[in-house]
Amino acid sequence: MAPGKGCCSPLSDCFFEYESAKVIVIRSKCVGLINRLIQASIVGYVIGYVCVIQQGYQETDSVISSVTTKVKGTALAKIPNLGEQVFDVADYIIPPQGENSFFVLTNLIVTQNQTQSTCPELPNPSTICTSDSDCTAGFKDVRSNGIQTGKCMNYSDTVKTCEVRAWCDLEIDTYLPKPALLRDAEEFTVLIKNSIRYPKFSFQKRNILPHINSSYLKQCTFNRQTDPDCPIFRLKDIVAEAKEDFQDMAVYGGVMGILIDWTCDLDMSEHKCIPKYSFRRLDNKNPQNNVAPGYNFRFAKYYKDCDDSDIRTLFKAYGIRFDVIVFGKAGKFNMVPTLVNIGAALSFLSLVNAVSDWVALTFLPKRKYYSKHKYTYLDEDDDMEGTVYGTQ
Amino acid sequence: MAPGKGCCSPLSDCFFEYESAKVIVIRSKCVGLINRLIQASIVGYVIGYVCVIQQGYQETDSVISSVTTKVKGTALAKIPNLGEQVFDVADYIIPPQGENSFFVLTNLIVTQNQTQSTCPELPNPSTICTSDSDCTAGFKDVRSNGIQTGKCMNYSDTVKTCEVRAWCDLEIDTYLPKPALLRDAEEFTVLIKNSIRYPKFSFQKRNILPHINSSYLKQCTFNRQTDPDCPIFRLKDIVAEAKEDFQDMAVYGGVMGILIDWTCDLDMSEHKCIPKYSFRRLDNKNPQNNVAPGYNFRFAKYYKDCDDSDIRTLFKAYGIRFDVIVFGKAGKFNMVPTLVNIGAALSFLSLVNAVSDWVALTFLPKRKYYSKHKYTYLDEDDDMEGTVYGTQ
Amino acid sequence: MAPGKGCCSPLSDCFFEYESAKVIVIRSKCVGLINRLIQASIVGYVIGYVCVIQQGYQETDSVISSVTTKVKGTALAKIPNLGEQVFDVADYIIPPQGENSFFVLTNLIVTQNQTQSTCPELPNPSTICTSDSDCTAGFKDVRSNGIQTGKCMNYSDTVKTCEVRAWCDLEIDTYLPKPALLRDAEEFTVLIKNSIRYPKFSFQKRNILPHINSSYLKQCTFNRQTDPDCPIFRLKDIVAEAKEDFQDMAVYGGVMGILIDWTCDLDMSEHKCIPKYSFRRLDNKNPQNNVAPGYNFRFAKYYKDCDDSDIRTLFKAYGIRFDVIVFGKAGKFNMVPTLVNIGAALSFLSLVNAVSDWVALTFLPKRKYYSKHKYTYLDEDDDMEGTVYGTQ
C-alpha cells in the first residue's frame, strides 16, 4: 500500500522517495497575471511594510536610565515683611537633590515664628462661632489647622472663630504674590546628565555626546535649531517649548516634563543613536474640574527659642517641578521575529492558489475543460473502472 | 522542458501560465467531515482566542506617568518628655515632597539636645567593659554609635561600657511608643494626581476624569463602591483594602503600594480607558526571616547653641511610605501583529490535509483504490512505458 | 460543474467531499534526501532555536518593584576650622530617605555663618574691577553668586572685585579636601530590601529569599562567592565590583548603579527565580568632555541669630549616589506566541517542495520523464482531445 505523508513503511522509503504534486498548467494570460500579481503584492508587503516600516525583523529592549541634574542661578526676591532676600541654589532647590525630578521654588508664602500654642482658626462656615458652645474641645477634621480647644475667640474685630491648638499664628495663604517673587527663575539653567543602557544588547550611551567638548559645554544652552545637543537648558526655554508662559506658571506652580526619547535602531551606526528632547506640561493648567491647581507644598525651618522652645518658619512653596522622563526602545536584528514575520507572510501565498483556482474554474471560457482535468471524482460506491474512465 | 515553480524560461511564460494542483475528490462523508471539522477548529481558534481573548491584532505600548500627591490633616501627639504637640503637613511629610512616593510619619523616638561629645556606649556584648583595657581608642564597627575613646565608663549603676565620641546622649530606641504617637494619621487624606501618556499612540489622560466636577472633588473620598473615580484617598481605607490594620502598621511603619493600572484597549472609546486602583502592602509584615522589620529612618534638626556650638534633635521616624506605582499597557489595532497571527494560524490549515490523507488512505475501505489514483510511482530505473501502465 | 476550493454548490457537498492532491512519487535517493534534510532542519530550528534558546513559546511581563534601603555606620571626620566631628546616618544620608536611590556624603566644603549681606564677588574675568564704574548695580548672570551693588571692593590686598548682595561670605570651593573627609564611609553597609511583582502572572517575590534566616542576615555581608544571597552590601565592595576605587570616588563623588536583575522563567520552579546583583558606575569618570565632574550638590542648615536674623551654614556636599535599578522580564508559557512561532516555521515547509521540485526537474537524469507526468498543459486554444493526448 502507499505511504501517507506522515507515516511510512518501510521507514527507509521515506528517505528515498519524494512526493511532488501533479499540476495542470493553464496557459491563460488572465489567470496567470492575477496569480502573479497577488503573489507580488504579498512579497511586497513583507519587504516593504514589515521589514522597512515596522522593522519586524528586530527584537526590542527598553531603556534603563540614570539622571543627575544641576541648577545654576541666583535671584533677588522681596519677601513681604522680610525684605529683600537673595536666593541661591541651596535656597530654591527643594529637596537639595532629586533623582529624576527637581523642584525650583518660584513663589512662596512665609509665616514666621510659629509656635506650638493656641489661636483662633481661620474663618470658614465650620469654624465661625458666636460662643464657646459652638466649639467642641478636641474636635478636628481634615481641613482644620489644629485641634479645637472649645473656646470661641475674636479672629478679628468683626469675626469670632473657634480657638485651636496648632502652630500659631496660622498661615494665611489667601493672598498669593503676583507676579511671582522669584520671577528671575526663568533665567536659571539646568545641566541634565543622562546615561542610559539597553541591557539586552549591552549597549550604553550618555546624552553628552562624544563630539561635544568641555569648552562648548561651559557656555552652551540648548536650542533646537542652533544647539540641539547641548544638555544645558534655560528654564524659560523649557516652559516656552511647551507653549506655556513661565511667569504665569511661576505664580501657581506646575509640573513640567522633560522627555528624553532614546528610541534607537541599533542595526545602524551608534552615532545615529542620540537623545531627542521634548517638553510638555504634565499637570492640567485650567481644566473645568480643578482642585488644588498648580503645584505647591509646605515645609518648615525649625529653630529653638532662647528659652529652648521650638519655633518654626512655615513656607508654602509654589514652584515648578521638572520631571525628567527617559523612555525609548532599541531594536536590533534577531532571527526569531524575522522568521516569524516572513513565515506568516509566506502562509498567505497558499491562499493565492485558492483565489486563482476560483477565477480559473468560474469565469474562464474553458472552465469545464480545466476542472475536468483538475478533478478526479471517486465515489465510495463507484466501481473502479467507472471512475477511471470518468477522468478521460 | 517544463518550468519549475521558481525559475522559468522564457521568463514571459511565468506570467501567462498558471499552475493548479490536480486533485482527487473523494466523496466520503467520513473524511469530508473530519477535514472540515479540523479546518473549522483552526479558524475558530484564530477568531476566538487570538483575536477576541488575546487581542493578537494589537500592538502595545507601555505607560509613561507623572504623579503629584498632596496630604491633608493634622494630628495631636503626646511626645514623651516633650508634651503635647500638633503635627501638620509640614511636620509629618518627610521629605516635604515626593515624586511617586510620600512618607507619612506615624510614630517616632525623639532624642533632644545631642551634642558632639563623649558618652558611654549602649551596653551590648562588644561594648560592656570592666576597665579601660577592654576598650581600644579609635575602635568602631558598623553597629557602634561612635568612635571609642579608650575609656571605660559607668553606663548605669550596674553596667560599665566603653566611652565613645558621638552625638551624645545616645538615642535609646528600645522602647517604641504603642499605640503609635500619630495614631490619628489614619484620618489623613491624600489627593493623588496622575497624568499618563502612551507616546506610541500619542494618547494622554489623567486620573481626574472629565465627568468629575470641582465641587465633587472638594468633598469626595475614594470608595470602591460609591466613589470609584474619586482621586482622594483616606489613609485608613488604603491600608484596610490591603487587608492590613492601620494601627499595627503605624507602630513599626511599613510600605504600602498604591497601584494604578492604566491597561487600556484604545480601539474602544477613550471613556473606557480609566485607571483601576488597587492597594497592597509591599514589605513583608512578619516573615520568619525578619531583619529591620517595618519601615523607619533617622533624621535630625540642627540648632546652634548660645555659644554657637551645634546641637541637634535626632528623630527616629517610623511611618508608612506610600509608593504610587503606575503601570499598564495600551493596545491598538496594527497590521503587523494581525497578519502575523492570522498567517501563522493559516499555515496550520496545511496540516489538515496531512491528517485527512492519512485517514483516507489508512482506514477507508477503498483506500487502495484512492491511493492508486493519488500516487503515480516513478522509479529511476523504470522505462517510461512501465510506470505509465503502473498507474492504471 | 466542479466545486472550487472555496465555494461549492450545493453546499452540502462541501462536507461530504474531500480533496487530496494527486502526486507523483519519485523514487530517487537524491531528491528524497534533499527533501527530508531541509524539512528536518526547519523542524530543528523550531524546536532548538525558537523553543529552547529564545523561548518563543512564552509571553513576557516586565517587573514592578519597590525598594527600601538602610545604611549603617559612623565616621569621624576632621572638618577644616570646625574640628573633629562624628557623622552618623542622620548626618551623611541626604535626604534622610530615598526611594530607589540613596546618597552617602563622603566629602564636603563647609561655609559657616553666612548672612544676607554684601561682599566682594569671587575674582574671575567678569568680576574683577578697578573702579565702581566697572560694576553695574543690579547686574547678575547665571554664574554669579549674587546681585551686584555697583561698588568695587577689595577682595584681597591685590585684587578688587565688584561687590554683590548675597549670602556672605561667599563659599570658596577651589580647595577640595583630599583624601575625602569621610573616607571611612567605605566601611558603611547598606541593607537593600526589594520586593517585586509580575502583575500579568500575579507572581511576587522579595530579594530576602525564604531559605535565609534572621541570624544569618544580622551578620552577613554580600559576597559573590561566599554570600551571593545576602542583601547587605559593603559600600567599598559595591564600588570595587564596578572596577572603581572608593577613595578616588569619595573625593569628587559619583553615581553608582546597583542593578538587580529579576529575569525569570516562570515555567520553572519559583526557587529558580532569584535576583542577580551587578554594580556599575553610571557617571563618566574622566571623559574628554567633562563638565561638572563627579557628583555634588549644595544644601544649607538655617539658624536664627540672637537678633533673630537668618544665618545659614552652607554645605557643598560631595558623595556617592547609589541608584538601585531593578529590571527584568518574566516569561511563561502561552498559547499565542507558541502557535505563532510554530505556525510561522511550518509555513517554511511549503518552501521545501519548491526547492526539491527545482532539483528534481533540473538536475535529475530523467527530469523530462518526471515533468511529463507532473505537468499537464492546457492551452486556451487547444481542442480537448489534443491536450488529453498531450499528457500521455
Average pLDDT, stretch B345-363? 77
Instruction: Using alpha carbons, list the distances in angstroms from residue B14 to A25, A363, B138, B221, C224.
Output: 11, 21, 93, 73, 66
Which residues of A are known binding-site members for ATP? 70-72, 189, 296-298, 316
Chain C positions touching B62 (Cβ under 8 A) are: 62
Q: Which residue has the higher pLDDT, C319 or B10?
A: C319
Residue A100 has pLDDT above 60, yes or no: yes
Residue A387 has pLDDT above 70, yes or no: no
* Interface residue A214 vs chain C (CB under 8 A): yes
Amino acid at C381: D
- Residue B66: predicted pLDDT: 86
| Partner-chain contact C116 A86, CB within 8 Å | yes
Residue B35 has pLDDT above 90, yes or no: no
Please give the residue of chain C at the shortest CA–CA distance from A307. Answer: C306
Instruction: Using alpha carbons, list the distances in angstroms from residue A137 to A140, A175, A323, B25, B185.
Output: 9, 30, 44, 96, 19
What is the rounded CA–CA span in Å between residue A329 and residue A337? Answer: 16
Beta strands in C141-210 (DSSP E): 147-154, 160-168, 189-198, 203-206
| Lookup: cell for A145 | 489647622
Please give the residue of chain A at the shortest CA–CA distance from C378. Answer: A26
- Residue C284: predicted pLDDT: 73
Query: What dihedral angle (degrees, nearest 10) is formed by the CA atoms of A34, A37, A39, A45?
Result: -140
Taking Cα atoms as reference points, which of A204, A182, A183 lies closest to residue A195?
A204
Q: Which residue has the higher pLDDT, B336 or B170?
A: B170
What is the rounded CA–CA span in Å between residue C74 and residue C86? Answer: 7
Do B275 and B392 reside in the same domain of the chain? no
Amino acid at A362: T
Question: Per the annotation, does B280 bind a ligand?
Answer: no
| Lookup: cell for A391 | 477522468
Lowest-pLDDT range, A309-323, C36-50, C100-114? C36-50
| Count of other CB atoms within 10 angstroms of residue B376 | 20
Q: Which residue of A21, A145, A283 is in closest CB contact with B193?
A: A283
| Lookup: cell for C90 | 542622620
Conformational region of residue B320, where left means phi above 0, alpha means psi within -120 to 50, and beta covers everything else: beta
- Residue A57: predicted pLDDT: 82
| Lookup: cell for A79 | 519677601
Q: How far apart are the first and last CA of chain C?
A: 24
Pairing of strands B23-27, A375-379: parallel
Query: Is residue C195 assigned to a domain?
Result: yes
What is the rounded CA–CA span in Å between residue B153 and residue B136? Answer: 13
* Order of strands across the sheet that contains A58-62: A58-62, A329-333, A264-265
Query: Is residue A128 assigned to a domain?
Result: no
Mean pLDDT of chain A, nearest integer? 83
Do B304 and B382 reside in the same domain of the chain? no
Average pLDDT, stretch A280-286? 79
Please answer whether residues B66 and B194 qualify as being in contact, where contact means their C-beta atoms are separated by less than 8 angstroms: yes
Query: Is residue B276 assigned to a domain?
Result: yes
| Partner-chain contact A199 C284, CB within 8 Å | no
The boundaries of the domain holding residue A369 are 28-57+334-392
- Residue A381: predicted pLDDT: 59
Please answer whether residues C82 and C110 qualify as being in contact, where contact means their C-beta atoms are separated by less than 8 angstroms: yes
Query: Is residue B377 assigned to a domain?
Result: yes
Query: Is residue B264 assigned to a domain?
Result: yes
Query: Is residue B18 assigned to a domain?
Result: no
Q: Residue C371 contacts by C-beta under 8 Å, 6 or more apart in sequence?
A: B1, B2, C361
Please give the residue of chain C at the shortest CA–CA distance from A27. Answer: C379
Lowest-pLDDT range, B179-193, B316-330, C357-371? C357-371
Chain A positions touching B25 (Cβ under 8 A) are: 375-378
Chain C positions touching A17 (Cβ under 8 A) are: 25-28, 32
pLDDT-derived band of residue C115, with 50, 70 and 90 as boundaries? very high
pLDDT-derived band of residue C3, with 50, 70 and 90 as boundaries? very low
Report pLDDT digits (tens) over A75-91: 999 888 788 889 998 89
Average pLDDT, stretch A307-321? 89
Lowest-pLDDT range, A372-386, B13-27, B194-208, B273-287? A372-386
Task: Tell me how close the Cα of B207 comes to any Cα of chain A, in angstroms.
Answer: 11
Residue B341 has pLDDT above 80, yes or no: no
Q: Which residue of B74, B93, B301 is in closest CB contact with A146?
A: B74
Query: What dihedral angle (degrees, nearest 10) is formed by the CA atoms of A52, A53, A56, A58?
Result: 70
Q: Which of C295, C315, C332 is the last residue of a domain?
A: C332
| Lookup: cell for A132 | 464657646
Instruction: Respond yes or no on whether the N-terminal peptide bond of residue B120 is cis (omega within 30° of 0).
Output: no
Query: Helix, strand, coil: what percent of chain A each, to 5?
Result: 30, 35, 35
Task: Tell me how close the Cα of C262 comes to any Cα of chain B, in angstroms.
Answer: 17
Q: Which of A332, A362, A378 is the last residue of a domain?
A: A332
Q: What is the CA radius of gyration of chain C?
A: 38
Residue A5 has pLDDT above 60, yes or no: no
Residue B176 has pLDDT above 80, yes or no: yes
**What's the total number of domains in chain C?**
2
pLDDT-derived band of residue C66, with 50, 70 and 90 as boundaries? confident
User: A22-49 in b/e burial notation, b at 16+ Cβ within 10 A?
Assistant: bbbbbbbebbbebbbebeeebeebbeeb
Query: Which pTM does this prediction carry?
Result: 0.84
pLDDT-derived band of residue C291, with 50, 70 and 90 as boundaries? low
Q: In this prediction, what percent of chain B has a pLDDT beyond 70?
A: 91
Average pLDDT, stretch A307-314? 86
Residue B233 has pLDDT above 90, yes or no: yes
Question: Per the annotation, does B70 bind a ligand?
Answer: yes
Query: Is residue A142 assigned to a domain?
Result: no
- Residue C387: predicted pLDDT: 41
| Partner-chain contact B344 C342, CB within 8 Å | yes
Average pLDDT, stretch B45-54? 76
Beta strands in chain B (DSSP E): 18-21, 23-27, 58-62, 64-72, 75-79, 83-87, 101-120, 147-154, 160-168, 189-198, 203-206, 232-234, 254-261, 264-265, 276-281, 296-304, 310-327, 329-333, 375-379
- Residue B290: predicted pLDDT: 65
What is the rounded CA–CA span in Å between residue C108 and residue C91? Answer: 12
Please give the residue of chain C at the shortest CA–CA distance from A212. Answer: C289
Task: Tell me how close the Cα of B215 comes to any Cα of chain C, in angstroms.
Answer: 34
DSSP A10: S
| Partner-chain contact C344 B348, CB within 8 Å | no
Can you tell me whether residue B382 is helix, strand or coil?
Answer: coil
pLDDT-derived band of residue C98, with 50, 70 and 90 as boundaries? low
- Residue B22: predicted pLDDT: 82
pLDDT-derived band of residue B58, with 50, 70 and 90 as boundaries? confident
Residues 356-375 (B) with a CB less than 8 A from some CB of C: 356-357, 360, 370, 373-375
| Lookup: cell for C62 | 516586565
Lowest-pLDDT range, B55-64, B284-293, C256-265, C292-301? B284-293
| Partner-chain contact B379 C213, CB within 8 Å | no
Residue A135 has pLDDT above 50, yes or no: yes
What is the rounded CA–CA span in Å between residue C326 and residue C334? Answer: 25
Q: Which residue has the higher pLDDT, C285 or A307?
A: A307
Cross-strand bridge partners of residue C22: none
| Partner-chain contact A384 B369, CB within 8 Å | yes
Q: Dihedrals φ, ψ of C184, to 5°?
A: -65, -15
Average pLDDT, stretch B41-58? 78
pLDDT-derived band of residue A291, with 50, 70 and 90 as boundaries? low
Do A288 and A326 reside in the same domain of the chain? yes
pLDDT-derived band of residue C292, with 50, 70 and 90 as boundaries? low
User: C167-178 in b/e burial notation, b at 16+ Cβ within 10 A?
Assistant: bbebbeeeebbe
Chain B positions touching C343 (Cβ under 8 A) are: 343-348
- Residue C6: predicted pLDDT: 43
What is the rounded CA–CA span in Å between residue B260 and residue B327? Answer: 6
Report pLDDT digits (tens) over A320-375: 999 999 988 898 988 777 877 777 777 777 777 777 788 778 887 777 887 888 87
| Partner-chain contact B327 C189, CB within 8 Å | no
Q: Could you write out the DSSP letters of every residue in A289-320?
A: S-SS-S-EEEEEEEEE-TTS-EEEEEEEEEEE
* Interface residue B299 vs chain C (CB under 8 A): yes
Question: Per the annotation, does C72 bind a ligand?
Answer: yes
Lowest-pLDDT range, B61-65, B81-85, C286-290? C286-290
Average pLDDT, stretch B242-253? 92
Chain B positions touching A4 (Cβ under 8 A) are: 354, 357-358, 361-362
* Interface residue B327 vs chain C (CB under 8 A): yes
CA A47 and chain centroid, separation: 31
- Residue A256: predicted pLDDT: 92
Q: Residue B7 contacts by C-beta under 8 Å, 6 or more apart in sequence?
A: C358, C362
pLDDT-derived band of residue C50, with 50, 70 and 90 as boundaries? confident
Average pLDDT, stretch C23-49? 81
At which residue does the C-alpha cell 499637570 appear?
A: A283
| Partner-chain contact A340 B340, CB within 8 Å | yes
| Partner-chain contact B22 A325, CB within 8 Å | no
- Residue B14: predicted pLDDT: 61
pLDDT-derived band of residue A389, with 50, 70 and 90 as boundaries? very low
Residue A183 has pLDDT above 70, yes or no: yes
Task: State the chains in contact with C (3 or more Cβ–Cβ pairs under 8 Å).
Answer: A, B
Do C109 and C214 reside in the same domain of the chain? yes
Residue C235 has pLDDT above 50, yes or no: yes
Sign of CA dihedral A91, A95, A100, A103: negative
Q: Tell me how many degrees the CA angle B28-B33-B37 measures, rounded to the nearest 5.
A: 160
Query: Is residue C253 assigned to a domain?
Result: yes
For the ranges B386-390, C234-238, C355-359, C375-379, the maximum mean pLDDT occurs at C234-238
What is the rounded CA–CA span in Å between residue B372 and residue C22? Answer: 10
Do C274 and C347 reside in the same domain of the chain? no
Lowest-pLDDT range, A206-220, A264-278, C20-34, C60-74? C20-34
Do B325 and B338 reside in the same domain of the chain? no
Do B45 and B74 reside in the same domain of the chain? no
Do C360 and C279 reside in the same domain of the chain? no
Please answer whether residues C320 and C254 qualify as being in contact, where contact means their C-beta atoms are separated by less than 8 angstroms: yes
Amino acid at C143: R
Q: What is the CA radius of gyration of chain B?
A: 38
SS (H, E, C) B85-133: EEECHHHHECCCCCCCEEEEEEEEEEEEEEEEEEEECCCCCCCECCCHH
Q: Which of A332, A347, A371 is the last residue of a domain?
A: A332
Do B372 and B391 reside in the same domain of the chain? yes
- Residue B5: predicted pLDDT: 41
| Partner-chain contact A373 C376, CB within 8 Å | yes
Please answer whether residues C138 and C148 qualify as being in contact, where contact means their C-beta atoms are separated by less than 8 angstroms: yes
Residue A124 has pLDDT above 50, yes or no: yes
- A192, containing H or E segment: strand A189-198
Task: Tell me how close the Cα of B4 comes to any Cα of chain A, in angstroms.
Answer: 11
- Residue C109: predicted pLDDT: 93
Chain B positions touching C339 (Cβ under 8 A) are: 45, 344-345, 348
- Residue C1: predicted pLDDT: 36
Mean pLDDT of chain C, nearest integer? 83
Do A281 and A179 reside in the same domain of the chain? yes
Pairing of strands B254-261, B310-327: parallel
Lowest-pLDDT range, A119-128, A168-177, A323-332, C48-57? C48-57
Average pLDDT, stretch C215-232? 90
Please give the residue of chain A at the shortest CA–CA distance from B336. Answer: A50
Residue B224 has pLDDT above 80, yes or no: yes
The CATH number for A318's domain is: 2.60.490.10
Do C338 and C284 reside in the same domain of the chain? no
Question: Per the annotation, does B316 bind a ligand?
Answer: yes
| Partner-chain contact C32 A18, CB within 8 Å | yes
Do A249 and A300 reside in the same domain of the chain? yes
Mean pLDDT of chain B, nearest integer? 83
pLDDT-derived band of residue B385, with 50, 70 and 90 as boundaries? very low
For the ranges A204-208, A230-234, B205-209, the maximum mean pLDDT occurs at A230-234
pLDDT-derived band of residue A29, with 50, 70 and 90 as boundaries? confident
Cross-strand bridge partners of residue B87: B75
Q: In this prediction, what percent of chain A has a pLDDT beyond 90?
A: 32
Lowest-pLDDT range, C89-103, C117-131, C334-348? C334-348
